[in-house]
Every structure is written in C-alpha cells, then in structure tokens.
A and B are shown apart, each in its own frame.
Chain A
Amino acid sequence: MHDSILTYARSRYLWIAIALSAASLIAYFLHDPGGPPNGGTWLGYTLGTIGALLIVWLMFFGIRKRHYLNGAGTLRGWLSAHIYLGTALILIVLLHAGFQLGWNIHTLAFVLMLIVIFSGFFGVYVYLRYPTLMTRNRESATREAMLEEVNEIDQNALALADGIDPKIHSVVLRSIQNTRLGGGVWTQLRARDGSDLALDSLHKAIAARENRQEMKTTEMPTMFAMVDFLAGRATDKQGEAMRKLIDLISRKKGLATKVARDMQYQAMMEIWLYIHVPLSFALLAALIAHIVSSFFYW
C-alpha cells in the first residue's frame, strides 16, 4: 500500500546508512594513523573510495530514473536509498578528511557536496510537504480547468462591463491583460498574479464614476459599502450589473490566486533540482580534480 519514501521497506536504507556510518565511525576511532587522521592513510583511502563510489552511484540515479525499461528494483526504492546513503556521505567524507578543511580544491569539492546534499534535504522537505498542500489548494479541479474558468469569467466580465460604461469596460479589459499566471521563475515562486491590481483599479474606476454622478459618494469609506449603496438603489440596473461584475472579478481573483499558488507549489517542487543537479556535476568535476591532484601533486 501507500507509504512514504522515508519509510519505504521499513526504512531499510536508513538502517543500511546507519550501519555504514557506524562502521566508518568505529573504524575511525579504532584506527591509529600515527599522526593526525587524514585522507592519506589506508583508512582515509578506503573511506575516500567509498565516498567517491557513493557519489558516482548517487549520480547514477538520474540515469536510472530515465531508464524506464530497467527492471532493477522500483524507483521508489532507489530514491529512498539515494536519500539515506546521500546523507551518510557527509559523515563518511568528513571522516575521510579527518575533519581537515582549508582553502583548496579538496574543500571546494566538499562544499559543493554539502550544497548538493542540503539542496536535496530541501527537496525531501518539499516532496513531503507540498503534495498535500497542492491537493488541498486545488479542491479536485485540474489546473487546466481552473485556467479555463478564469478565461470564462473574463469573457463574462467583459460582456457585463460593456453594458455598464465604456470606461469600466476598458478597466476590465486592462485588468484582464494585466493578469499574468506563470512566467519567469521568480513570478512563479512568489505566486503573484496581478489580479489584486485589477480589483483595485476597478474599485478606483467605480469610485471615479460614482464621483461624477453623485458627488457625495466619494466619502464612502470602502468600496464594499459603495456596492451596497449601488445595490440598494433597485431602479439602477447598472448598479446591479456592477455588483455582479465585482462578484465576478472577486471570484476570478480567488481562482487566479489559486492557480498562482498551484504554480508556486509546483515550482517549489522543481526549483531545487536546478541547484541539486547542475552542482552535482560540478561536484563530479571537483571530485575528479581532487583525486587527480591528490595523486599527482602529493
């Protein structure tokens, strides 16, 4: 049945990672290098080799993920192992280096590795948290359906505004043009859609119009009070239409916010990969440099 990547197969890979870490720690404390512990001892080489192999294996996940015909285990198992063994890597590498850090290529590889691993932690966090938020936000509509509805509301609003006043029409039109869903990374992550602006400008336009017709109404504190006022005048058909228009635009705002949030969640679930993956390649390059330099420039 359904269980999360962390508890997959009764957290089998957590135990493997713990065992690996414990074995490394025990070896580290039992081992007497005859000097400060470092990568040059036999234990250092062993841990370094384990670490390097782990890095290559962890990176192989990207290939395994796209190897759709591969029958070797489930991708879920691979990911579970990827997370736990990737975490264990921090300790193994620290032990490998004997906690010696400095301003050199070796530490660069280490720092890159930490960034990759911690971006991965962030990934685990969003993977565990955001799916539920996303479902709750969507209320079982698809994004496409929501966008369609936004579109529909726009059309209806335009038609309604057309019957009220050319000025209102142009405001509604502008507000539609200003509503942007999606776009650049930043827009997606911030979940802004510009529909606030639209509602504001609509309020202003209505206020301006009322101003012209009845001087006193500008003193109405809020726009909702004005709507009430408008609706109160049963004879004014335009008032009724305007109330409907505001309803529509408010509904659209609600929807647009939902879509923007949906995009935000999706973006959050993807954005970390843009750090995690490229830097893992940088790490691989730094790792090669680290190994080569260790052997040639000893």
Chain B
Amino acid sequence: MSERFKIAIVGSGPGGLSAAARAAERGESHVLFEAEEHLSNTIYRYQKGKFVMDEPGILPLRSPVPFKAGSRESILDGWDEAAKRVKINVRYKHEVSAIKPAGNGFEIKCTNGQIVQADFVVMGIGLQGNIRKLGCPGEDLAFVQYQLDDPDEYEGETIAVVGAGDAAIENAVALAKQNNVIIINRKDEFGRAKKGNEQAILKAIEDGTIECYYDSAPERVDALSVGRKKGRMILATKNGKAQILLDRVIARLGATAPRGFVEGCGVVFPNKDPASVPAISSQYESNVKGLYIVGALGGYPLIKQAMNQGYEVVEYILGQKVEPADAPLLKAKFEKMPGFRSVDEALARVQKNVRLLAHITPLQLREFMLDSDIRAPKPGETIFNRNDYTNTFFSIVEGEVQVVVDAEKNQRVSLRRGEFFGEMSLISGRRRSATVLAGANCVLIETPRRSMNRLINSVEAVKREIDEVFILRAIQSRFAPEASAEQLAEVVAASRLERFKAGDVLFNEGEVGDSLHLVRVGSLTISRSIGGKDVVLSYVPAGNYVGEMALMGESRRSATARAAIATETVRLDGDSFKKLVNRIPVLRLRLQSEYRQRTAANLAMQAMPSGGDIISFLLAQGAGEATDILLIDESLCVRCDNCEKACAETHGGNSRLNREAGPTFAQVHVPTSCRHCEHPHCMKDCPPDAIHRAPNGEVFIADNCIGCGNCVRNCPYGVIHMATKAPKKPGLIQWLMFGRGSGPGEAPHDPHDKHVGQLKQAVKCDMCKGIQGGPACVRSCPTGAAIRISPEEFPAYAQSRR
C-alpha cells in the first residue's frame, strides 16, 4: 500500500511552497514534490544576484514563508530556512508524471516510480515548466548544462551551444569572445530570434568566429576519459553524422509548456491559444474536483500573488473561510459605488448588470476588478476626449453615458447599463474616435488594456461579443452615423473580420472588386504599378477604408492594397454595401468627396515617384506601426549629438536615443529611437504591467518596472535598454566654478561607484511627457534636422522632400 497524505503539492515554486508551509504549520499531513534538488527552480535559475521585486506593492503578503524584494540569494535562503522551520515534508528529485483520480482522492505517480495517494492536489508548477533537455543519451552529463550565468567564466574551451533562439544566440556570441563556439541549429535559419540577434549570429558565422551546424540535431553525448577534450557529441546532419570534440555543451532549448501534463490530469483549457490558462473557481479549484491550481499556471504570474494563493488554497481545502487577501483592496474600489454593501454583493451586481462579464469565472472577475477602477463620474463629466490616446476599456454598471458623435451639431448617442465602450482604441491602438460624457447615475468599470486583452484572449465569448459590437460601431461611425442599427443590420451580418500578415495583398490592381475593407488593426499601403515598378501612393491607417470605388462605379480595382504590418480588417460585402448606399443618399456624396480628395493626393504622389520610395523605405523600417517616429534629415544634421545629450539630461543621465545607428535613405535617417507603436511590442509581456500609454500617445515605463528585461527582448527595434539611475549632476555654476561632477551634456560619472549593484530598470523614450515644449531631442536640435512625425504625415513629408 502506498503512502497517503491529505494534501499533495506539486511544484515548490512560490505558490506550492507557500501552500506546503501553511499545511505544515496547520499540522496537516502533506507532501511537496519537487523535480529538482532544490526549492523553486524558476527562481533558482535566475541569474546570480538578480534583484527580485515584490510587486504588486499594495497587496499584503499572507504566507508562513517570508518574501521581500531583494536579491535572488536572500530570497532563496529565506525560503530554505522557512521550509526547515515549519518542517515541510518535501521530496526532492520527484518529478510527477501523472495525477489520476483514484477512489476518494488522487493517485500521484512520479517518474522515479514512487506512487502516492492524496485527498487533494495543489498544482503549482508554473508556466516556465521544465527546461527542455537535449532529449538524447548523455543529456545529464556533468558538462552538459542548460543555463549560463556568466559567460566570462569560461576561457579557451570548445563549447557547443544547442538551440536557435535568443538565449542560445546571446550565449554563443558572448562565449565566442574567449572560446571556440559551435552552434547547433535544428533548422536552416535563425528566424525565431530577434532581428539584432539574428544579424549578430549570422555575422559571427560568416566571420568564422562561430561555427554553425544547420539542419542538425544531437544524437548522443559521451564523456571521454582520454584525450584533451572532456566529451564528444555525435550529430545527425543533413549530410550524415558528424562528431564534435568538446569541453562543454550549453543547451538553450526553451521550456516545455506544462499544458500536455496538465491536460493529462483532466484539466480543461478554454481554447487553443498558447497563452490561455485553465479556468479556476474563486477557491482555485479546477474543473477536476479536489485538484487546485495556484500561481502562474492559474494566470497569476507574480510571486506574491502565488504565495497568497498557496496559503488560501490550504485554508479552503480545510474548509476554512478566508477572506481573500485582495478583499480590502476590492472593498476600497467598490466603496465609490453608490449603494455599496459588501464586496461579494458588489461583484454579483457587476456580473448581473454587465452582460460581457457574465461569461467569466468568479476568480477571473476578482482579478479583473483588482486591475480595474470603479468610476462614478458626475453627469456631464468627460470620460475621455476624442483624439486622446488612452486605451482603457469601459463597462457600464449603472446609469448611462453619452457618446458625442458630432460635436458641431451636438449629436449624441446614449449607451446604457450593461453596454461597454472604448473597444475601438483598445483594438486599433489608435486615438479615441469620439468624446464620451457621463450621463445620470453613471457607474463605470475602467479596465486597463492588458487586463482586457488577457480576458479577450482567454474567454472566447467575450471576444465574440466585443467583435460583434465593434463591427457594428465601426461601420456606423465611419459610414453612416445617422443610420440606425436596424438599417445597418444587413451590412453588419454580411461583414466579417479578416487578418493579413505584413506584405499580404488585400486586392490587386485590375481585379474585379466585390468588397471594401475597413482597417481595424494595423495599416495598409496603396500602390500602383507604374512602368513595371510598384510605387506607393498612400498609407491607410486603422479607422479608414479602402476599395469602395470599385463598388461605386468603376468595377475594377484602381490600385493594389497591401498590409504594411500585421493587419485586421472588417470586410464589408459589396452587394449589401451598395444597398446601404442607395438607401442613404448622403453616404454616396460623402464617399464621392473623400474619393476626390484621395485621387488628387494619389496623382500628386504619382507625379513624383521618388516620394513613394521614401514611404516604402520608412514602412520597411517598421514605421507603419508607429504613431510617432523620429526622423533625422542627414543633409541638415551636423552630428553634434545635442539630441542625445538633451535626452540624457532630461532623463536622469541615460539617453534613450542612438542618433548614429539606424538606416538612411535619400538623406532621411531613422535613428534607434522609440516609435510608440500602435500595439507596443514592449507591453506584450510585462509582469508588473509597468508599460503604459499616456493620453498624448507616449508609451512609457513606470517606476514599478522590476527589471526583468522582457520588453528589451520584445522590442523589434532595439530601443529599450537596461540602466541604473545615473548620479545627480551639479548645477551649472557649481560645475563651472568648482568642477563638481560632470558638466551639461557630458556623461555623468560616479566617483564613488555608489550605483554598482543597484537595480537595473528598463528605460525608453517617453517623448518627454511632462516636459513643457515637447520632445527634448527635437527641441534641442540646432539645425532642425530632427523631427517627429506620425505615419499619416508620410505622404506630405515625402512630397516636401522633392
């Protein structure tokens, strides 16, 4: 008979460890399984000395295990000590391979053959999962390693780096300085890596500083006892087998997502999206009764949240009612709501009133509310203004709001309880399309972009509903504000969303047109073939449409429309659109007048094809997804670097701009500087949600950055870097008269090295938000070589450079 415990905890990360500690503290029979030889492998694998933050700062910690912001070492030491103190029953090197319901509980199987019974299972295995190993004999030899703390530790060795991702490339390039490096790539290219890394590795291979085996996979690694090298690797290559004698193998193959394992336990994921997480109840129970999920796997990536959940889950299992740690925070939020009684009642009211939120689990709702704000604006108060760059999402809990459709005629539309708004900017990443004012008894939930996107991506029903409303509103606001929803019903029903990759063609010049496209995300270029060459005539940002003329009179497309970046459009069916045009005569006039303007602009561009070349060049630099891009006219730039100095001086000594780097075409130079993308890549994966967009469009990093470097890796333009805060500089007089510190425009220096070992945070251009007069780089350019423009201005700009 195998052992039986009340609670079995899988994974000793923050969530699992905290749960085990709580169970131990309560004297319950428990066991904690950890695949490695130490606790909390994800944090263990952090680089030495890494500073770990304890966001969200407002949330109180509730766990027998201590956790405070500090170095990786101090945190791990504290955890080891706590595990001993409360006597956690931990089993190291027990990798769980299967969890199956058995009798009144579960049967847990480990890879080493051990089988354990438990009444309840708490799963805290995180999303990092297990690092993927070589998957061949010899993968666990001493000289085969799966991480690299400090590349400078190795010298004069022959090292095989396996992998083709960013980590592998960064390691290989860093090691190649002092070692003989061979990189082994399963494919024939490095397409998965960031552009900069790809270029670096290809150059290193071309120069011969790194040797590369393409289309190759390790077949075996052996330790050698004779000879100068420690081991050898046998490779299966396209041309047969190859042998490499080496000192060390560094495999950077990423981590296997634990999804397969989790699904094997019977837990259901809501959809196929790799970012989705299993749905869990407000007590962290999954769809399998008795199986609980805490931490990142349940959608809570922050350490402190996971630790609190570990504590709470044990209480729930023991049948205790705990007020979740977030209850006081929620209470503070809901107190603004008129008629507030209790958090639970308020949550129920939200879910009852807002149809969109009826689809989500109670726990998701709590999380959603923690991220969101309750607003109870007075009637007539502005929620947001037209052309603001904000991208939060609003749900109406009570009362109504008024959308100003036409400011001149004071034409307004009311939205009532249960409806939502703000989805346009959220989806398109562009400015607000209308001003919204509060109506009577208005209570709103304002949700930040990231939380909303997470909800849309994890709950299919929410996505569907938002998309349906989006299509209706987009058509209504762009074509026929005076038409009612009924009049538009036919067009809406015949419309659908379409996605295009960068460079995909929506339609070609000369084709018969049967539809028109309203751009919802991304942007398009319009080009014509002139003298056998594709000449770009214009740029169509989100919120505009193309292809209407082929429906209105000319039957063939007069130009080619192509996606400039990844783009989504609403495709309106031609026949139903024609009917709409016939029904609404104003619409025809409006379309015709817009068409005339557009044709005139196109003709102007056609007259000077070199303008099209400049637009093409800018779009090739990714400017199509920019909202504001820094351009330098090299025929005016005197290379004084005053722009960089100004940037550093106004941003704590770190310039966020590299003037010299970046491509140039026809004297137009695109320096390495933030473009404030419509859908910022840097925002994609920010654990503390520190990257925001300000009302004027500036994408900036707030002070709660934890220095993880995700944004640096995610930015395709290399405009974010990690930096410590620079020392303060003396005033002008102090510097001039007494020579204290460095002078204006000079790099600050730190005579006492006070800042060594300080937390590095990500820094990027914030377009000098909060500084009067606009971006310092532009303002401090003595010759006017630096300007900032948005892609809508590209055609005019190209024409100005005749």
Contacts and interface: CB of A to CB of B under 8 A. Distances in A.
A76 B650 contact: no
A5 interface: yes
Given A2-B785, A3-B784, A5-B784, A152 B207 contact: yes
Interface string A54-72: 0000000001011111110
Interface residues of B, number: 42
The 10 closest A-B pairs by CB, nearest first: A71-B773, A66-B744, A71-B772, A76-B784, A68-B649, A135-B634, A2-B633, A1-B800, A68-B646, A132-B635
Interface stretch (B130-138, B173-181, B554-562, B657-665): B657-665
A108 interface: no
A122 interface: no
Interface in B626-680: 631, 633-640, 642, 645-646, 649-650, 660-661, 663-664, 667, 669
A254 interface: no
A74 interface: yes
Nearest to B801: A2
Contact of B776 (A68, A126, A144, A269): A68
Contacts of A79: 782-783
A187 interface: no
Contacts of A70: 773
B781 A75 contact: yes
Interface centre among B207, B634, B637, B638 (most CB of A within 10 A): B638
Interface string B773-798: 10010111111110101000000110
Interface in A1-36: 1-5, 8
Contacts of B661: 142
A131 interface: yes
A131 B664 CA distance: 13
Interface of B: 207, 631, 633-640, 642, 645-646, 649-650, 660-661, 663-664, 667, 669, 732, 744-745, 771-773, 776, 778-785, 787, 789, 796-797, 800-801
Contact of B636 (A126, A131, A143, A266): A131
Contacts of B635: 131-132, 135
Contact of B787 (A2, A63, A71, A143): A2
A142 B631 CA distance: 17
Contacts of B785: 2, 131
Contacts, number: 96
Given A5-B784, A8-B784, A66-B745, A134 B639 contact: yes
B355 to A, nearest CB: 48
B741 to A, nearest CB: 14
21 contacts: A1-B796, A1-B797, A2-B633, A2-B800, A4-B636, A4-B783, A5-B783, A5-B784, A68-B645, A68-B780, A69-B649, A74-B773, A74-B781, A79-B783, A127-B638, A127-B783, A131-B638, A132-B635, A134-B639, A142-B661, A269-B639
Contacts of A143: 660
Interface of A: 1-5, 8, 63, 65-71, 74-76, 78-79, 126-127, 130-132, 134-135, 140, 142-144, 152, 266, 269
B604 to A, nearest CB: 15
Contacts of B781: 74-76
Contact of B664 (A63, A130, A140, A144): A140
Given A66-B745, A68-B645, A74 B800 contact: no
Contacts of A269: 638-640
Given A1-B797, A68-B649, A74-B779, A132 B771 contact: no
A140 B661 CA distance: 9
Given A75-B781, A130-B638, 8 more contacts: A2-B785, A2-B801, A65-B782, A68-B645, A68-B649, A71-B773, A76-B783, A142-B660
B646 to A, nearest CB: 4
A11 to B, nearest CB: 13
Given A75-B779, A142-B660, A132 B639 contact: no
B649 A135 contact: no
A68 to B, nearest CB: 4
A75 B642 contact: yes
Nearest to A142: B660
A130 B638 CA distance: 8
Given A1-B797, A5-B784, A65-B782, A134 B634 contact: yes
Contact of B642 (A65, A71, A132): A65
Contact of A68 (B650, B772, B783): B650
Contacts of B633: 2
Nearest to A139: B664
A67 B784 CA distance: 17
Contacts of A144: 660
B787 A1 contact: yes
B737 to A, nearest CB: 15
Nearest to B660: A142
Nearest to B663: A140
Given A2-B636, A74-B779, A75-B780, A69 B771 contact: yes
A65 B639 contact: no
B213 to A, nearest CB: 24
A131 to B, nearest CB: 5
B698 to A, nearest CB: 17
A248 to B, nearest CB: 14
Nearest to B799: A1
A40 B41 CA distance: 87
B664 A135 contact: yes
B635 to A, nearest CB: 4
A54 B636 CA distance: 26
Contacts of B801: 1-2
Contacts of A74: 773, 778-779, 781, 784
A165 B207 CA distance: 24
A140 B776 CA distance: 25
B797 to A, nearest CB: 6
Contacts of B650: 68-69
A269 B796 CA distance: 31
Contacts of B771: 69, 71
Contacts of A69: 649-650, 771, 776
B793 to A, nearest CB: 8
A78 B780 CA distance: 10
B41 to A, nearest CB: 40
Contacts of A8: 784
A71 B776 CA distance: 9
Contacts of B634: 131-132, 134-135
Nearest to A266: B639
Contacts of A76: 781-784
A2 B784 contact: yes
Contacts of A152: 207
A1 B663 CA distance: 19
A1 B614 CA distance: 14
Contacts of B732: 63, 66
A67 B797 CA distance: 30
A65 B800 contact: no
A147 B681 CA distance: 33
A190 B634 CA distance: 23
B658 to A, nearest CB: 10
Nearest to A9: B784
A130 B640 CA distance: 12
Interface centre among A2, A67, A130, A142 (most CB of B within 10 A): A2
A142 B778 CA distance: 22
Contact of B744 (A4, A68, A126, A134): A68
Contacts of A66: 732, 744-745
Contacts of B669: 135
B734 to A, nearest CB: 14
A8 B781 CA distance: 13
B522 to A, nearest CB: 25
A127 B663 CA distance: 21
Nearest to A4: B636
Contacts of A135: 634-635, 664, 667, 669
Contacts of A131: 634-639, 785
A156 to B, nearest CB: 9
